Structure 1
Amino acid sequence: MNFPFFIAKRYFFARKKTSFISLISMISMLGVGVGTMALVVVLSVFNGLEDFQRGLYKSFDADLKVSPAKGKYFECPPSLVQKIQKVEGVGSITQVIEENVLLRYRDAQMVVNLKGVDDNFLKQNRLKEMMIDGKPILHENGVANAIVGAGVAVKLNIDIEAFFTPLDVWYPRNTNSKTLDLYATDAFNKLSLNPTGVFSIEQQYDDNYIFAPLSFAQNLLNFQNQRTSLEIKVTNQANAADIQEAVKRILGQNFIVQNQDEQHASLLRAIKIEKLFVFLTLSFIIGIASFNIFFSLSMLAIEKKEDVKTLYAMGADTIVIQKIFLLEGAIVAFTGAIIGLLLGFTLCWLQQTFGFISMGIVGAMIDAYPVKMQFLDFLFTAIVVVIITLMASYFPAKRAANIEIV
């Protein structure tokens, strides 16, 4: 057995006269354990929230989105769609016209984001699981229908059973005109929709979006081949990155091709930054807890002066003495870290399985906090504990090795 480790283990497990030092060591162990557990749990919650956000996007956003590099609209002839369709792995392409419009329903009105989509949108079943009322139908018997967000439906008090009450959509005829009279009825294009369904995804979408047929949006905005974006569904998610690169090569510099994460890069970046700062904060707390290791080793070095002298007399050198006290600190910290990792894993597993801790939000899409454990979080937590332990144990070990021998 390694001699320094043997002596360090004896000091840790065989403390009969140094009860106060043992108490500080136990406090150190518990402090490191609790900090480690908290770090694992909080990082896992952030992972769960990030996955939850991605799950919300999947029901609303396309796998890949093509938009113009400059401006809001671009010309989309059939040949452009055919080029993209030829890329291996492209399943279907939805043509989109998206613009802010004014909605009026009975005596209520509000500004919303109108998203005109073609028939491929519903074939992708992107809203199927999110419908809370009615049916996802965009046109029927030559009548243009609307699928509205739950927030829009509440604010306008929309009744999808009232077939003879239309949803009026208003859009300025010439938004660039400086002499536009916003109070003149002939200054707007006005068309009507029949609301047939209500979806609920997330407040950001529920309060701001309605879906309508692409032809309806074309007529309202006086568009021909102009589109705001193309939404691509891929047949194999594993090759989505390769498909994205292939579409970029075909379209060139005039278009931007984004995957789902890139479409919400700012939000996901904010979550990662929050996660980083929480990691640093809890690491700092673990560092504070490790000060107890520093004090316990310092007192142990004072207590074991005679033992150190004896070891020197037996031929031990400075490096051996330093290793003994470094290993002593490592045993205390690693024991606490292992306990903390196990407790953190257990708590996360219980939350994943049973969802004991509720979010406390009425009407939320999920009842319990989402949790996702990742191996890298456990690994980085263990590395932080190792580094902090070595830093806390180094100076007491060096002091113990420099005892003056008479």
Structure 2
Amino acid sequence: MIWQFATRYFWAKKSTNAINIIAWISVCAIAVGTAALFIILSVFNGFSELVASLYSSFYPSVKVMPAQGKQIYLEPSTLRKIQALPGVVHFSEVIEEKAVLSYNNEPTIAILKGVDSNYIYVSGVKDKIVRGKYETMVEGMPEGVFGSDLEGAMGIDMTRSDIPVTVYVPRPGAGATALPEEALNSDVLFPAGAFAIQQDFNTQYVITHIDFLRRLLSMQPGQMSALEISIRPHASDRDVQKSLQLMLGNKFVVQTRFEQNQSLFAIMQTEKWVVYLILSFVLVIAAFNMIGSLSMLVIEKQKDVTILKAMGANDPLILRIFLAEGLLIAGFGALIGFILGFTICVLQQRYGILKLGGTSFLVDSFPVSMHFQDFLLILMTILGIGLAASWYPARRAARQSIELKAS
């Protein structure tokens, strides 16, 4: 019965046309706010997934690192146990070290990342090669895959890969007062290819063979900076993380891909929530139209309220009728907004209508990804705002006194 009264009040023609106009303005304002919120959150989701896909090409699903220091040592028996864990597919031993690279007598600071043959199964770097090929060791000669920006900064010509790059790294145990030739180990590697993933990686990293770095750093077999692990598509990285931490103990730190980039993903989530709050305030402002519309409706329906109370309707029933009216306005506006927002998002996904400016982006148009949880969040927000906006007019209608005049 409550919804029957609310629906009738919503669609019925009012004695004053302004009440209808204000009611439909309220619906339109909520619809526009809903569509804007849905579209912007979907764009944020699209950018988040794009960044995550870029970082997943370089960062592993799970990473084992030392709790203290720069190196870890894992016995072959421990590695076999790790391989046997549920969810683990491949692992790669890696060493990272800052080095000075010299090409044509031009020095550059970079990060050398030594990897083994399993690295191509742990990361997607091999699929991001833009020039040359992915090679880290050929017939005992170390080769390097350079970040594309680093390659350009050093002036490396991949068509002339016979020109070596000289690598200098700190010699372990050398004191601060040692002569330069005593403080550094040096060797050469040959450029093999260039990868392009993301600027942070493109400007800093050179991927080479782990044996080359072990020799330069005087490290023993089994010593590494980290163990990078890939997991099965439907396996839980949290479950693998817990199993590894339990096996290895507190001398090791086990991180998921999210934890390896926690600050980045935290900033992106914070930005999304800030935008959600700002647009929610816009919906709150739009809800003031609802207050005006419902207040005028209460005045319009004073006679109906009086009759209902004379027939035995109590104050809570009257309150619920006008609260339902407010929810009907908010819900109808939300429905139109969701249809509009969904249509725009689908068109953007298929045709890329709204383009990104410039030519340096990895995608031409704004990425969009619609999530069901965003739909629920927006719906609950709108219904909550609609309920709050209709509370005062509904309470006023419920408190209206009965005034029956004798004929």
TM-score by length of 2: 0.93
Match of 2:375 in 1: 378
How many percent of aligned residue pairs carry the same amino acid? Answer: 39
Equivalent position SS for 2:250: helix
Equivalent position SS for 1:327: helix
CA root-mean-square deviation: 2.0
Cα distance in structure 1, aligned partners of 2:354 and 2:173: 51
8 A contact 1:64–1:258 mirrored in 2: yes
Residues 1:10 and 1:81: Cα distance change in structure 2 (over 3 Å): closer
8 A contact 1:93–1:230 mirrored in 2: yes
Structure 1, 319-328 or 283-292: larger mean CA deviation: 319-328
Gaps of 5+ in 2: none
Cα distance in structure 2, aligned partners of 1:374 and 1:140: 46
Given candidates 103, 112, 133, the residue that maps to 1:105 is 103
Equivalent position SS for 2:313: coil
Residues 1:391 and 1:198: Cα distance change in structure 2 (over 3 Å): same
Q: Once the 2 structures are TM-superposed, how far is the Cα of residue 236 of structure 1 from its aligned partner?
A: 4.8
8 A contact 1:122–1:136 mirrored in 2: no
Given candidates 208, 211, 214, the residue that maps to 2:210 is 214
Match of 1:17 in 2: 15
Task: Tell me if 1:299 matches 2:296.
Answer: yes
Letter of the aligned partner of 2:128 in structure 1? M
Cα distance in structure 2, aligned partners of 1:179 and 1:100: 20
Match of 1:52 in 2: 50
Letter of the aligned partner of 1:300 in structure 2? L
Q: Once the 2 structures are TM-superposed, how far is the Cα of residue 11 of structure 1 from its aligned partner?
A: 2.3
Letter of the aligned partner of 1:31 in structure 2? A
Mapping for residues 2-401 of structure 1, pairs under 5 Å: 2=1, 4-122=2-120, 126-174=124-172, 177-181=175-179, 184-225=180-221, 226-401=223-398
Task: Tell me if 1:402 matches 2:399.
Answer: yes
Equivalent position SS for 2:70: coil
Equivalent position SS for 1:288: helix
Cα distance in structure 1, aligned partners of 2:189 and 2:240: 36
Residues 1:247 and 1:158: Cα distance change in structure 2 (over 3 Å): same
8 A contact 2:172–2:217 mirrored in 1: no
Q: Once the 2 structures are TM-superposed, how far is the Cα of residue 78 of structure 1 from its aligned partner?
A: 3.1
Structure 1, 285-294 or 216-225: larger mean CA deviation: 216-225
Structure 1, 296-305 or 62-71: larger mean CA deviation: 296-305
8 A contact 1:174–1:180 mirrored in 2: no
8 A contact 2:92–2:122 mirrored in 1: no
Cα distance in structure 1, aligned partners of 2:86 and 2:127: 28
Residues 1:290 and 1:180: Cα distance change in structure 2 (over 3 Å): farther
Equivalent position SS for 1:170: strand
TM-score by length of 1: 0.93
Gaps of 5+ in 1: none
Cα distance in structure 1, aligned partners of 2:235 and 2:75: 30
Cα distance in structure 1, aligned partners of 2:305 and 2:89: 74
Equivalent position SS for 1:17: coil
Matched residues, number: 402
